[in-house]
Amino acid sequence: MYEKFYGLRDRPFNLTSDTGYLYLGSYHKEALDFLSSGIRKNYNLIVLTGDIGSGKTVVLRSFVKGVGPAFEVIQVFYPADSCVQLLQMILLSLGVKSIQGDLNALREELKGRLKKLHSAKKRPLLVVDEAQNLDGDTIEETFRLSELKYKGKRLLNVILTGLPKLQSKLSSLHHIKLQTDAIYHLKSLPKEEVPEYIQYRLSTAGLSDPVVFPGEVIKVIGLFSGGTPRLINTVCDALLVQGYLANEKIITPSILKEALDHLPYDAVPGHPEAEPATAALISKAGHGKNIVSGKQAKRVNSKKAVVVSKQDENALAQDEGHKPDKQLSLRVLVLEKNKRMKVHLDNQFQKYGYNFFITNNLEELFKTLERSNGPELEIIVADAVSFFPGVGREDPAGKRALDSIQAAYACSPIIMTSTLPLTAIRAKLLRRGIPFLLQKPDLGLLDLSEVTTRFDSFFGELRNCLSNIYSQFNAFYNRIIKLTYENTDTIK
């Protein structure tokens, strides 16, 4: 959208884990060194944890990219439901499609494959991302695999990455013993590295002018994000969009406030249930000064997000002569037919703290819509195959269902997702007044190595779409509140 306006090659603050944008701050460098050291020392099990959005996945991908041809890297990007499924996924990554359901038989099959790799002078390395979602038995299975030996040599090194609760899970499994230096927790960026991180990503994307974000704006971003890279990216991308819409190439205090006020908090990783982001505040915007108000701002929770107290918010409202903004609640209702996509969506919506409901059944969707109450924006994310089972063909049942949703729940925006060619249904949706249509990957047709990258890209687009819809509805909602408040004052 805004790349040409700012002179960028691409979007510098995408939420996908792109190793080309890896900023090697002190903690991220430590994490890479930790992984390299664990492999050098031939540890059986190595554990990397970090909070949501801290940069674990991009560090891991960068490490994997640099291990060299001596390694055979086996990557599992989403959690297996059982030990059997884990072994099947590992074998599939090695080119063996096994439908064997017997655990011991799968173990022997995998052991044979690992021996062949060693005989071919290849060193197998198993990497499991989002490992906090594995159950205890499956974690124990990965540990058992890491203990396998052949001719006195270790058959497999294992790296597990995930959220901090992974460490708690490992601690509860008492017979799993790890070296004290085999666990590393990746912290958020220290405040002094936030400006470098932002400038690095801008210059990597081809920006010649480094002053798009003045220093004082960057200070607010640092306070608001608590140094979490993904949250920095979310805020900076919103600022560039807002700057583009305002035709401003340098982010001003008013653009900063506007962008922060309209961030959908349900979509911001790790952010507290928030007061409106008048919360992250610039007390003076005149004379070139952007200053975060120490009086109004206080830090809450481990994310160090900035909020204002109710007392201060009311005082601000009186100063400005209007009622404080309110955040419209957001709920995402997902209709998804594909089981694997459903699991991925469920994990990601939980990961980013959305209030959501997911089903593969139209009846369940209608029941949930009927139970809705209060001032809440419900956005429907629907699998197009529920309404267009053929290639762009709308069957009578699908037509009736879509007619019912649009008639009875006209205030609920619909985002349609499809693995089909978009041209097949775009015109039909536009005639219905549904402009939001996203191409999603067919996970069943992808190699395991591609699943995370393709899904992350799709989910990033979906989050942007949800964010844009939410911002518009929330602004409209607050305008109604303000007009009602002003009219009430007039009546009094």
Whether the CB-CB separation of 19 and 149 falls below 8 Å is answered with no
Across the range 134-153, mean pLDDT stands at 90
pLDDT at 480 (0 to 100): 66
pLDDT at 276 (0 to 100): 41
Q: Are residues 32 and 177 in the same domain?
A: yes
> Which amino acid does the sequence have at 158?
V
- % helix, strand, coil for the chain, step of 5: 50, 15, 35
Does the pLDDT at position 23 exceed 60? yes
φ, ψ (nearest 5 deg) of residue 236:
-65, -40
Decide which of 301, 320, 339 is a domain's last residue. Answer: 320
Question: pLDDT by residue (tens digit) across 41-86?
Answer: 999 999 999 988 888 988 988 898 888 889 999 888 666 678 998 8
Q: In whole angstroms, what is the distance from residue 237 CA to residue 4 CA?
A: 14
What total of structural domains would you count in the chain? 3
Question: pLDDT by residue (tens digit) across 402-451?
Answer: 988 888 887 889 999 988 766 667 778 877 888 788 889 888 766 666 77
Give the pLDDT band of residue 92 (cuts 50, 70, 90). confident
What DSSP line would sit under 256-278, residue for residue?
HHHHHHT--GGGSTT--S---GG
Residue 58 sits in a domain whose CATH number is 3.40.50.300
Question: pLDDT by residue (tens digit) across 284-322?
Answer: 333 344 434 333 333 333 333 333 333 333 433 443 444
Let me know if residue 419 belongs to a domain: yes
* Strand ranges, E, within 221-300: 282-284, 291-292, 297-300
Residues 31, 204, 344, 448: what is their CA dihedral angle, to the nearest 10 degrees?
Answer: -80
For 410, counting Cβ atoms within 10 Å of its Cβ (0-12 exposed, 13-18 middle, 19+ buried), the class is exposed
Q: Are residues 31 and 126 in the same domain?
A: yes
For the chain, give the percent of residues with pLDDT over 70.
Answer: 79
Give the pLDDT band of residue 127 (cuts 50, 70, 90). very high
Q: Are residues 35 and 180 in the same domain?
A: yes
The alpha carbon dihedral of 207, 213, 218, 221 has a sign of: negative
Q: Are residues 339 and 273 in the same domain?
A: no
Question: pLDDT by residue (tens digit) across 377-408?
Answer: 899 999 988 888 765 567 788 888 898 888 88
Residue 351 sits in a domain whose CATH number is 3.40.50.2300
Q: Are residues 264 and 336 in the same domain?
A: no
Let me know if residue 21 belongs to a domain: no
> Which amino acid does the sequence have at 466?
L
pLDDT at 351 (0 to 100): 86
Q: In whole angstroms, what is the distance from residue 225 CA to residue 216 CA?
A: 14
Does the pLDDT at position 164 exceed 70? yes
Residue 162: domain span: 26-186
Question: pLDDT by residue (tens digit) across 406-415?
Answer: 888 878 899 9
Across the range 355-365, mean pLDDT stands at 92
Let me know if residue 131 belongs to a domain: yes
Does the pLDDT at position 267 exceed 70? no
pLDDT at 477 (0 to 100): 72
Let me know if residue 285 belongs to a domain: yes
Cβ neighbors of 300 (< 8 A, separation 6 or more) are: 272, 307
Report the largest interatomic distance among the alpha carbons of the chain, rounded to a whole angstrom: 89
Question: pLDDT by residue (tens digit) across 312-330?
Answer: 334 334 434 444 455 678 8
Give the pLDDT band of residue 487 (cuts 50, 70, 90). low
For 360, counting Cβ atoms within 10 Å of its Cβ (0-12 exposed, 13-18 middle, 19+ buried), the class is middle
Go through the chain and tell me how many residues it has. Answer: 492
Decide which of 320, 346, 379 is a domain's last residue. Answer: 320
Let me know if residue 492 belongs to a domain: no
Residues 402, 403, 405, 408: what is their CA dihedral angle, to the nearest 10 degrees?
Answer: 180
Let me know if residue 486 belongs to a domain: no
CA distances 333 to 261, 366, 372, 466, 487, Å, are 24, 10, 11, 11, 34
Q: In whole angstroms, what is the distance from residue 321 CA to residue 329 CA?
A: 25
Cβ neighbors of 428 (< 8 A, separation 6 or more) are: 388, 392, 394
Q: In whole angstroms, what is the distance from residue 410 CA to residue 400 CA?
A: 15
Q: In whole angstroms, what is the distance from residue 205 CA to residue 291 CA?
A: 28
Best CA proximity match to 114, nearest among 159, 149, 64, 163: 149
Q: Are residues 249 and 226 in the same domain?
A: yes
Q: Round the average pLDDT of the chain to a whole number and report it.
A: 79
Best CA proximity match to 57, nearest among 442, 456, 448: 456
More confidently predicted of 457 and 447: 457
In angstroms, the first-to-last Cα distance of the chain is 46
Q: What is the pTM of this model?
A: 0.59
Decide which of 302, 320, 338 is a domain's last residue. Answer: 320
Question: pLDDT by residue (tens digit) across 174-233?
Answer: 778 787 789 999 999 999 999 999 999 999 999 877 689 999 999 999 988 889 998 898
Give the pLDDT band of residue 272 (cuts 50, 70, 90). very low
